[in-house]
């Protein structure tokens, strides 16, 4: 194999496929990325058996071939080369020469025969979204997935498609995040659970351009994302997602409309008094168009008031400040509406059209505090 390409193009491709290289694996071949050079293309491939990525790199192929190279070593070499054209050549024993200006490396490669290439799937049931929409939907929900592998379903997000509506849901047992979007076209009804890790990595690769599209294909076991010159294939999480609709009550006793930036800044200030090991809630007291937030920890105490517009009864509730901040940071509205019933019931943050809903379970407090 003999190829040449600009360092910037090669490094960009490497950075994309590195997201499918496992940190640890009992199969050494999974720590490799494959360079596949055809007559008119250069493709980089990585696969950790759960997530597989292929991407094309601009360049010239003098001699077709394939080689599997240690991803960490190869990426670090390319990263440190001069900003110029890179020449890569592999002999029949997979010894790989890498040359850029006066830098000349020689590293051992491997045959790609044992490498688990991405399985071919039937491209049916396509769903088309803009890169901007998909990136935003992930950003606004993925923070509330669980990292507990014992609850596998909670480590993924539900993509629920009905007609031209896509609903994306994540939860971790203490909160629920929901985004609803209207798509241009109508699609067959389907529900799939996509690993949060995959969505996080896809979000990092997406350009976020409104005019650039993502084609998503679903099978019984896989989801395939195609965009730009990149293909991402992931295994779906098997099982039935939680029935959350029964928790999404529209009833409330108190509605608060508050400036989002003021509330966010207030909670960030309160969080200065919380150690990482603490699980102290912020206590919110709502009365007479006044929003009082206070916290008392071993470090100190803090109290702040914010003007609000309220409907309904006075109320008091304890909430996890991190969960509040996670939701507020992804909401782009100038003001937000909070809906509450009592100190034992969930707090809802949602807009009028319910394009986003954030449910946060309360923390038990002494309501006389």
Render pLDDT for 57-95 as a digit per residue (tens, 0 to 9): 999 999 999 999 999 999 999 999 999 999 999 999 999
- Phi and psi for 107 in degrees, rounded to 5? -130, 155
Q: Give, as one character, the DSSP assignment of residue 306.
A: E
pLDDT in tens, 249-302: 889 999 999 999 999 999 999 999 998 777 889 999 999 999 999 999 999 999
185 C-beta neighbours (distance < 10 Å), count: 9
User: In a 3-state reduction of DSSP, which class is residue 201?
Assistant: helix
pLDDT at position 335 over 50: yes
The token pair that represents 67 in the structure block: 């080689």
User: In a 3-state reduction of DSSP, which class is residue 84?
Assistant: coil
| Burial class of 202 by CB neighbour count within 10 A (0 to 12, 13 to 18, 19+) | buried
Determine contact, residues 222/237, Cβ cutoff 8 Å: no
Residues contacting 355, CB < 8 A, separation 6+: 179, 180, 181
Tell me which residue has tokens 């009905």: 162
Determine contact, residues 347/327, Cβ cutoff 8 Å: no
Q: List the domains of the chain with CATH numbers.
A: 2-108 (3.10.150.10), 126-245 (3.10.150.10), 248-360 (3.10.150.10)
Q: Give dist(CA 66, CA 38) in Å, integer.
A: 9
Q: Give dist(CA 153, CA 159) in Å, integer.
A: 12
Q: Which helix (H) or strand (E) holds 67?
A: strand 65-70
pTM of the prediction? 0.92
pLDDT in tens, 32-53: 999 999 999 999 999 999 999 9
Beta strands 156-171 and 282-287: pairing type?
A: unpaired
| Burial class of 182 by CB neighbour count within 10 A (0 to 12, 13 to 18, 19+) | exposed
Determine contact, residues 260/333, Cβ cutoff 8 Å: yes
| 28 — pLDDT class (breaks 50, 70, 90) | very high
Residues contacting 134, CB < 8 A, separation 6+: 202, 203, 206, 214
Q: Which of 323, 360, 347, 269 is nearest to 143 (CA)?
A: 323
User: In a 3-state reduction of DSSP, which class is residue 45?
Assistant: strand
pLDDT at position 240 over 70: yes
Positive or negative, the CA dihedral 231, 237, 243, 244 is negative
What mean pLDDT is predicted for residues 236-260? Answer: 93
359 alpha carbon, distance to own chain's centre: 19
> So what's the pLDDT on residue 367?
56
Give me the percent of the chain exceeding a pLDDT of 70: 99
Q: Which of 344, 333, 319 is nearest to 266 (CA)?
A: 319
The token pair that represents 130 in the structure block: 């803009």
Angle at 149 between CA 147 and CA 151, to 5 degrees: 95
Residue 256, strand partner residues:
310, 338
pLDDT in tens, 173-213: 999 999 999 999 999 999 999 999 999 999 999 999 999 99
């Amino acid at each position: 194999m003999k190829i040449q390409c600009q360092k910037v193009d090669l490094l960009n491709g490497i950075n994309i496929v590195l997201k499918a290289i496992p940190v640890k694996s009992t199969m050494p071949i999974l720590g490799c990325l494959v360079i596949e050079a055809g007559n008119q293309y250069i493709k980089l491939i990585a696969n950790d058996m759960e997530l597989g990525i292929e991407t094309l790199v601009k360049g010239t192929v003098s001699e077709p071939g394939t080689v599997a190279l240690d991803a960490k070593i190869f990426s670090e070499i390319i990263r440190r080369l001069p900003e110029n054209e890179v020449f890569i050549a592999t002999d029949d024993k997979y010894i790989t020469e890498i040359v850029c200006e006066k830098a000349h490396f020689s590293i051992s490669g491997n045959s790609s025969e044992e490498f688990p290439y991405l399985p071919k799937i039937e491209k049916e049931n396509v769903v088309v979204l803009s890169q901007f929409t998909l990136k935003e939907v992930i950003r606004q929900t993925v923070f509330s997935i669980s990292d507990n592998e014992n609850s596998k379903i909670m480590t993924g997000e539900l993509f629920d498609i009905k007609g031209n509506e896509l609903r994306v849901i994540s939860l971790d047992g203490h909160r629920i995040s929901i985004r609803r979007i209207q798509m241009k076209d109508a699609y067959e009804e389907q529900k799939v659970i996509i690993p949060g890790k995959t969505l996080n990595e896809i979000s990092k690769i997406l350009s976020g351009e409104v005019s650039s599209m993502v084609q998503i294909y679903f099978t019984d076991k896989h989801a395939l994302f195609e965009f730009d010159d990149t293909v991402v294939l992931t295994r779906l999480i098997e099982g039935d997602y939680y029935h959350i609709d029964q928790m999404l009550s529209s009833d409330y006793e108190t509605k608060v409309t508050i400036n989002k930036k003021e509330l966010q800044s207030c909670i960030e200030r309160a969080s200065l008094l919380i150690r990482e090991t603490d699980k102290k809630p912020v206590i919110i007291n709502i009365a007479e168009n006044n929003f009082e937030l206070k916290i008392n920890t071993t470090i100190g105490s803090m109290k702040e008031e914010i003007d609000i517009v309220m409907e309904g009864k006075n109320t008091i509730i304890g909430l996890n400040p991190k969960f509040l901040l996670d939701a507020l940071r992804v909401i782009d509205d100038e003001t937000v509406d909070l809906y509450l019933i009592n100190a034992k019931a969930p707090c809802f943050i949602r807009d009028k059209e319910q394009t986003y809903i954030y449910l946060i379970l309360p923390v038990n407090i002494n309501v006389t505090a």
